[in-house]
A and B are shown apart, each in its own frame.
Chain A
Amino acid sequence: MAVRVEPRRQAAPLAAEIGSVVRSLDYVLVAAVAALVAYGLWVLSSVSRNDVPGDPDYFLFRQSINVALGTIGLAVVTYVNPEIYRRLRKPLYLGLLAALVFVFVFAEAVRGTRRWIDIGFFQLQPSELGKVVVILVLASFLAECARRLGEWRTTLTAVGLVALPGVLVFLQPDFGTAIIYAVVVAAGLFVAGTRWTHLAALALSAAGLAAAVLWVLPSAGVQILHRYQVERLTGFLNPDLDPSGATYNVTQSITAVGSGGLDGRGVAGATQTNMNYLPEHTTDFIFSALAEQRGFLGASLLLVLYAVVVWRGVKTIALAPSLHTAVIAAACVAALVFQVFVNIGMTIGIAPVTGIPLPFVSYGGSSMIASFALVGLLQAVHVRGRLAGRS
């Protein structure tokens, strides 16, 4: 007690600290993510082989760079003590808002939406990285208000805190990512211990809002969403209604998935993918391409890998050393589960078409880096939990 060992510990070389972090990593999660990334690259390389004439590895090469960037991000996020983010919550939040306003005002519209900031070699999509920032800001806020979690003010402020960037993202318009923000706030509040009555009230208002946007207001002549957005969102409920219109993509995707059968049609035989019936087969609908080429076995393998990631994530929530880190872990898990479910669900007709990419598999830098960051946060929480003596 009287012996002060602090100075010596502070003097401990960086290598030793890294060593302790590395020893406390969740290696099952490492292995699962590594397998996912490798599988994703393999799938991308086989579905994009004919997309760029004369350069079969165009997508593979670029995605590999994304993976490398993501791995660096993963390492950094894993090493950084999540407590630091509590101090940085303000600049983080303002930085996110600034970036979102910037894209909204200045970015050039690509295919009707303003999502990207062009930084030379890279098209940065702030809303993707915004997921991570929103998680950190939310967790910090809830940790600050740990004693007032039962109050309405806390709940509503948390919702408002996320809603502000969420609305900016929604206006881009990027409906899918905005929904992820909502899922993040729901999971955060849930794990932080918000009252059930609050949660129920939020769920009811969310349902009311959805009904208003999709049904009540349009019938009164007020269009919040574009018509095509409404059709995509509701189209999956009855895909045969208009097989050539709004649900054409989904119909083609289901055909692609179904035609894969048990063991797939192989790379050359996957006609839905090769002949461009499948839209966006490197990004939003890459799962359909995978399912067509590799069949039920290949698709299930991917699901199993995601399930392992989620299993480790849920374990990490329990392992978290603080409310702050528990909220971070829960929000990361929720974001990953939601993205996987909505993306794959969209390709097989059980979820609306929202344009959410498949984590670690869909082609795209921002999404890849964001997914790595989410896993990095889970690792960081895991490491701090282990170091704090939890097991």
Chain B
Amino acid sequence: MSSLPGFLPPDPGVEGPYRVTPQMAIRIAIIGIVAIALFAALFFRLWALQVISGERYLEEARNNQIRTFRAPAPRGAIIDRNGRLLVTNKPGTLVQLWPAALLELTPEKRRTMFRRLGDLLNLPQKELAAALRRGKADPLTPVTVKEGVHDEKVMYLQEHQAKFPGVQVTDTHLRRYTETGIGAQILGYVSEISPEQLVERTDKGYAAGDRIGQAGVEASFDRYLRGVAGEGDVRVDALGQVTSEPKFSQHPEAGYSVRLTIDTELQRAAEEAVEYGIRLAHEDGEWAANGGAIVAMDPNTGEVLALASNPTFDPSIYVGRVQPNELKRLADPTANHPTLNRAVGGLYPPGSTFKPVTALAALQEGFLSPTESLQCEPSITVGEDNQVFRNWDPYRNEPMELTKAIALSCDTYFYQVALEAYERPDSPIQRWARRFGFGTASGVGIGPEGDGLIPTLAWRRRTFKGIDRIWTSGDSVQLGIGQGDVLVTPIQMARFYALLANGGKLVEPSLVKQIEQPSTEGNAAVVIRPFAPPKPRDLGLDPAAIRFIQEGLYDATHASYGTATDVFGDFPRPIAGKTGTAEKYVELPGYKGLRDQSWWCGFGPYGDDPELVVCAVIENGGHGGVAAAPAALKVFEKYFGVEPGSYSSGTVESD
């Protein structure tokens, strides 16, 4: 037979008659059995899925189409003591990815979409892919890839939804800073909750994707500001597109407003004053001056009216999508830590501004009489190793009483007082310093706050090894003039000067007046929680002792020999206060060594009704009278409404 038989019906001789052999029958039966087996498999699987587990899958199908969502509540405003808006909200938009919908696309389609979205929003595709990876674990929760996009782009996205499968645009609230750059460190900023923060706070109603205060008042008062996020569910289809009106189980409730004790105008003046102080320092040759802080406080209540810290930053860089290079710039060492609130977190040796602490301690303990004269020598020699400690003014050598010693800031006078203290068993200076609030955070309410350091023998034992564990007479001498190891924050200093101003009562500094429900149409604002300043604590100090020190401070700004008379002497309101020039070991780019920290702390008006305490420090600013005192004066000018230039004022190179 050829390989190509004719196209004819089969030739019986070739093919033979066809019969179903038993062999064949078995094979046909096998086909039937296989078919039965396959159908049985389908049938039983269907039975298992639909009849046995039907309820479970029904539940799953229901959850599939209902997605719970979280609607961010409008964050409360932050206002100043007069109701002036400092931080409020502006409407913004979020561009979010639905991982579930995106994962359904083919890789090519996804790439095309990412390219398109990346081009539109100016985002690297890598970032979009990374966002998708983040969301893979929980594909039904949208991942935010951009915040506060330019409106036209959002409109384009919304109009061309079909081109962007798995992308959704939702409304949100973004922070708006109405007084540009004012009080950045006080206000703080808001950003998405970090995984670590979430772990700490899940039981407090925070959820992934929430925005949370990260610093300043935004962080400390987050629970009032944040409001209650709305929760509800909405029907969506497989592409994540909403197919029903949202059903709220919890409507979003706007956060409460926080009313600060800050006065915006005084705050602005204080911030400008720090810059002014730095400028003066530069003019005086103090090239290293690069920062500072001013605290202005009501000495009767402890309410903080201004809290300036320099260098500063613009908190609005945290609004919307944060630019990594801007954050890098903030973190750069040459930027000198602009996010640090130096007024509460900066640690400085206080220098001569600490002398009233020494004096007050000695007066209270009775080992110093205010009318007793001590020799103000050019230097004294102390201890077994004959350490020499000099006065800042080598030409003065005369006996003087306490007030004059304070006014002209005689170091050797205070060395002798400190040596007296050294002889006593119970470290009186340190004990009193702690009672005046040094060595512990003031509790003003925003952080990070510094504790400061009041050095003691016990502290030396804890901290050092060998010879440094001993407390020597030299240590006491240094402490007596606020040098050595002692460290304070500006707000601790302001608190102490408030005590000097108000006659011996220790105030609790406060920054927030109250939490309010903002006024709406027809409804007045309601105070939710007042933070009335706690009654100042009377330390039971001898009023006479305080008077002597007040006098000393007044002389320091008015007597011919006062260290800051040139600055405050002609000011129309009586100001009393003390300069300080504190040596501190600093490490600057290209420089390591001791630099003078310029201080001035004081109050006004001098008398029975002081209204304002101001404490200023200019980092590496040199003499107190050169930089800090004129800076503080600017704040008094603003507070008392005195025109600059309507009186004469200068700077003075004195301790």
**A interface residues, Cβ below 8 angstroms from B:** 83, 86-88, 112, 143-144, 146-147, 187, 190-191, 193, 228, 243-245, 248, 252, 254-262, 265, 271-272, 275-277, 279, 291-292, 295-296, 299-300, 303, 306-307, 310-311, 314, 317-318, 320-324, 326, 330, 333-334, 337, 340-341, 344-345, 348-350
Count residues on chain B whose CB falls below 8 Å from chain A CBs: 56
Residues 92 to 117 of chain B near chain A (Cβ within 8 Å):
99-100, 103-104, 106-107
Which residues of chain B are near A341, meaning CB under 8 Å?
A: 38-39, 41-42
* Contact yes or no, B50 A260, CB < 8 A: yes
* Contact yes or no, B58 A244, CB < 8 A: no
* Contact yes or no, A296 B47, CB < 8 A: yes
* Contact yes or no, B61 A299, CB < 8 A: no
Which residues of chain B are near A265, meaning CB under 8 Å?
A: 58
Which residues of chain B are near A256, meaning CB under 8 Å?
A: 61
Stretch among B14-22, B266-274, B449-457, B527-535 lining the A interface: B14-22
Would you list 12 pairs from A and B whose C-beta atoms are within 8 A, ordered by A residue? A228-B107, A248-B103, A258-B57, A261-B55, A261-B58, A271-B65, A275-B236, A277-B237, A311-B32, A337-B38, A341-B42, A348-B45
How many pairs of residues, A versus B, come closer than 8 Å at their CB atoms?
Answer: 169
**B interface residues, Cβ below 8 angstroms from A:** 5, 7-10, 15-16, 18, 20-21, 23-25, 27-28, 30-32, 34-35, 38-39, 41-43, 45-47, 49-51, 53-58, 60-62, 64-65, 99-100, 103-104, 106-107, 136, 139, 235-239, 243
* Contact yes or no, B61 A255, CB < 8 A: yes
* A388 to B511 alpha-carbon distance, docked (Å): 106
Max count, chain B CB within 10 A of own CB: residue among A187, A245, A261, A295: A261
* Contact yes or no, A303 B39, CB < 8 A: yes
Q: Closest Cβ of chain A: how far from B327's Cβ, in Å?
A: 32
* A257 to B53 alpha-carbon distance, docked (Å): 10
* Contact yes or no, A258 B58, CB < 8 A: yes
* Contact yes or no, A262 B35, CB < 8 A: no
Which residues of chain A are near B9, meaning CB under 8 Å?
A: 83
Residue from A191, A228, A296 in contact with B28 in the complex, judged by beta carbons closer than 8 Å = A191
Which residues of chain B are near A318, meaning CB under 8 Å?
A: 20, 25, 28
List the A residue with the shortest CB-CB distance to B60: A255
* A380 to B24 alpha-carbon distance, docked (Å): 20
Which residues of chain B are near A86, meaning CB under 8 Å?
A: 7, 10
Q: A259-B61, A337-B38 are in contact. List 9 more A-B contacts (CB 8 A).
A: A193-B27, A244-B139, A257-B57, A258-B49, A258-B61, A276-B237, A299-B46, A318-B20, A333-B31
* A318 to B21 alpha-carbon distance, docked (Å): 10
* Contact yes or no, A314 B238, CB < 8 A: no
* A259 to B267 alpha-carbon distance, docked (Å): 64
Q: Closest Cβ of chain B: how far from A67's Cβ, in Å?
A: 24
Which residues of chain A are near B100, meaning CB under 8 Å?
A: 244, 248
Q: Quick one: given A83-B9, A187-B31, A191-B28, are A344 and B51 in contact (CB under 8 Å)?
A: no
List the B residue with the shortest CB-CB distance to A256: B61
Which residues of chain B are near A271, meaning CB under 8 Å?
A: 61-62, 64-65
* Contact yes or no, A244 B99, CB < 8 A: yes
List the B residue with the shortest CB-CB distance to A87: B7
* A277 to B61 alpha-carbon distance, docked (Å): 9
Residue from B15, B45, B107 in contact with A350 in the complex, judged by beta carbons closer than 8 Å = B45
* Contact yes or no, B31 A330, CB < 8 A: yes
Q: Closest Cβ of chain B: how far from A299's Cβ, in Å?
A: 5
